[in-house]
Amino acid sequence: MGNDVLIDRSTNIVVIQIFEYNGSAVVAMVGKNCFAIASDRRLGVQLQTIATDFQRISKIHDHLFIGLSGLATDVQTLYQRLVFRHKLYQLREERNMKPETFASLVSAVLYEKRFGPYLCQPVIAGLGEDNKPFICTMDSIGAKELAKDFVVSGTASESLYGACEAMYKPDMEAEELFETISQALLSSVDRDCLSGWGGHVYVVTPNEVKERILKGRMD
Amino acid sequence: MKLDTSGFETSMPMIGFGSSSDMLDGFSSVPSFDLPRTTDFDGFQKEAVQMVKPAKGTTTLAFIFKEGVMVAADSRASMGGYISSQSVKKIIEINPYMLGTMAGGAADCQFWHRNLGIKCRLHELANKRRISVSGASKLLANMLYSYRGMGLSVGTMIAGWDETGPGLYYVDNEGGRLKGDRFSVGSGSPYAYGVLDSGYKYDMTVEEASELARRSIYHATFRDGASGGVASVYHVGPKGWKKLSGDDVGELHYHYYPVAPATAEQVMEEAAAE
């Protein structure tokens, strides 16, 4: 948040907020035997917008997605590392990883870099045994936070908490879940200078993955 | 500096290198942490600093052309990353023939413009004629100069029409005052200048000039995170100022760049016969 910006009066320099360097918003919600994960599409360098099609959510396997917010270079590198680890797992175990296991893997990978961390906050969403949806988020050094309803991360996280709390209902079907998560995302990023410029939503049910791009305010 | 990792030691024999490697899944070697080699272990991450002057989060512009002065601004107020309002009036009506734009601290700009309006009215009453744009901007600049160094944040343009014709001055909190034909102030000003400078001609009609001003603000709101909301455009002519339009930039984007309906992305193919 802007109020924490420090100005070092002795040298008159502004300490940049490293988590707010690129700007991001990621949210995941649980529905009835389905889940939805959504992110904004902006890539910026502080206030300047560089791209409006940045991919923040990535597929690990058909029923497991990870959305990463924070510093964009770490988002890309961490994603590549995790896909690598998952592919090795698939070769050894001849099956896909369960979401709970993957969350533990991400937590361990992040804690390995405890004293020089990856500057991102992951949001993990997947369908586990019996198609039970699983979501969790973590801080940049791997502290897992499991939730039954929704998880948020990014520069717009405070607005997202408010919007999700107000709009969420348990046991929503896929279409209603899509509407809810889209409205929560768009209304939250409209209150954040550093995220927005469109939205990207994945709704995952046991049989299909629907990917949609949201038309949002481009300011 | 070596950390005490005796708590991690297992009965497994050590493989050549100490740090965990992805290929071995981190299980086969003795775990240890990569430690950064630096003298300031606790503070080195805070030292990502940048010599950046805090920019005034807004986009305002004004230019003189054949038919008078065109003034335009966005309407977003931001506190760091948070958008506190999308409907701020950044074009302040000092009196019926003079406008001021707001960039920087909202309270500072609102107060000092109102104060300027008071001084202009007192001048009219004392001298039985309207104050010139040059005089009004000088009053403001001198007032701001006397508060120099006290942390006021004002980046304003005074636009008006007086006996000498259209007038445009840029005044800021350092006490600087510049006369000119084209100005843009705020964090979105580089983007607005790009569009404004390439489309500007002195001989424009009011419609062409207002479209240029609207487009410049729109492009600045697209690229700059601290600008957005509504693009307001005002025109100052011989009879005073008039508000021409106030368009939501979210809608302007799809007006300038309509979304073509996507064609089907996958073609159904016959399964190859074995």
Whether A4 maps to a domain, the answer reads no
In terms of Cα–Cα distance, which of A135, A201, A171, A166 is closest to A31? A171
| Position B273 confidence tier, pLDDT thresholds 50, 70, 90 | low
Question: Which pTM was predicted?
Answer: 0.78
* Residues in chain B within 8 Å Cβ distance of A190: 83, 86
| Range with the poorest average pLDDT among A11-25, A93-107, A178-192, B176-190 | A11-25
What's the CA gap between B244 and B242, in Å, rounded? 6
User: Is B58 annotated in the active site?
Assistant: yes
Backbone torsions φ then ψ of A73, nearest 5 degrees:
-65, -40
What's the CA gap between B93 and B71, in Å, rounded? 11
Assess B249–A contact: CB distance below 8 Å, yes or no.
yes
Question: How many percent of chain A have pLDDT more than 90?
Answer: 85
Q: Give the closest-approach CA distance of B218 to chain A in angstroms.
A: 8
Q: What is the ipTM of this complex?
A: 0.78
Whether residue B52 is predicted with pLDDT greater than 80 in this model: the reply is no
Average pLDDT of the residues of chain A? 91
Burial of B134 (0-12, 13-18, 19+ CB in 10 A): middle
Assess B52–A contact: CB distance below 8 Å, yes or no.
yes
3-state secondary structure B169-226: EEEECCCCEEECCEEEECCCHHHHHHHHHHHCCCCCCHHHHHHHHHHHHHHHHHHECC
Of the two residues A3 and A39, the one the predictor is more confident about is A39
Whether A7 maps to a domain, the answer reads no
**Burial letters B52-81, b for 16+ CB under 10 A, else e:** eeebbbbbbbbbbbebbbbbbbbbbbbebb
Name the active-site residue from B58, B59, B60, B101: B58
B94 touches B116 (CB < 8 A): yes
Q: Average pLDDT, stretch B205-209?
A: 95
From the list A3, A14, A84, the residue facing B50 with the nearest CB is A14
* Residues in chain A within 8 Å Cβ distance of B225: 23, 44, 46-49, 193-194
| Range with the poorest average pLDDT among A84-98, A103-117, B24-38, B111-125 | B24-38
Q: Give the closest-approach CA distance of B224 to chain A in angstroms.
A: 5
Cα radius of gyration (chain B): 29
pLDDT digits (tens, 9 = 90+) for B177-202: 999 999 999 999 999 999 999 999 99
Whether A101 maps to a domain, the answer reads yes
Domains: count for chain A: 1
Whether A219 maps to a domain, the answer reads no
**pLDDT value of position B56:** 75
CATH code of the domain in which A155 resides: 3.60.20.10
Size of interface A-B (CB pairs under 8 A): 112
Assess B25–A contact: CB distance below 8 Å, yes or no.
yes
Cβ–Cβ gap B57/A18 under 8 Å = no
Question: Residue A56 belongs to what domain range?
Answer: 12-214
From the list A5, A190, A216, the residue facing B80 with the nearest CB is A5
Cβ–Cβ gap B82/A217 under 8 Å = no
**pLDDT value of position B14:** 47
Question: How many percent of chain A have pLDDT more than 70?
Answer: 93
Q: How many Cβ atoms from other residues are within 10 Å of residue B245's Cβ?
A: 15
Assess B223–A contact: CB distance below 8 Å, yes or no.
yes
Whether A144 maps to a domain, the answer reads yes
Q: How many CA atoms lie within 13 A of A101 on its CB side?
A: 12
From the list A1, A5, A215, the residue facing B259 with the nearest CB is A215
Cβ–Cβ gap B225/A23 under 8 Å = yes
Cβ–Cβ gap B76/A15 under 8 Å = no
Q: Average pLDDT, stretch A21-36?
A: 95
Whether A6 maps to a domain, the answer reads no
Q: How many CA atoms lie within 13 A of B114 on its CB side?
A: 5
A30 touches A24 (CB < 8 A): no
- Domains of chain B as residue ranges with CATH: 67-256 (3.60.20.10)
Q: How far is CA B170 from CA B38, B76, B271, in A?
A: 47, 21, 70
What's the CA gap between B61 and B57, in Å, rounded? 13
Average pLDDT of the residues of chain B? 84
